[in-house]
Amino acid sequence: MNFLHLLSSEAVQHVIIHCLNVSVWRSAEDGLLAQGSVRFKAWTGEVFEAGGELEPDVLEDSCWIKDGRWHQTHFVFHSLDPTLLPVVDIYSLPKTTPGSHYHLEVGPVCFL
């Protein structure tokens, strides 16, 4: 991994959380962040989180919709510091109840 970090000037990674009746980022369409939104641990140990210095871009967030259908929240991590990626852990994933589920789709890191 150190070799890739040394040869690169930036890095990109996508993480998609597919969800059924459970919020992971926002609590409503108005954009207010859900209490205990997910956070992501970088390779270096730093944390990507809402409102933090390292905040991921969110291409789509429809997990706040609780209508019995699957939705998703799509995070993009783009950094000019390639040593931050890959994401190595995800904190504050929601607790599920009967009728609520989620699964993660963690994409590869593209070192540029």
Written out in words, the top-level CATH class of the domain with range 2-111 is: mainly beta
Residue type, 60: E
Domain boundaries, the chain: 2-111
The answer to pTM > 0.85 is yes
What backbone torsions phi and psi does residue 84 show, to the nearest 5 degrees?
-75, -25
State pLDDT tens for residues 51-109: 788 899 999 999 999 999 999 999 999 999 999 999 999 999 989 999 999 999 999 99
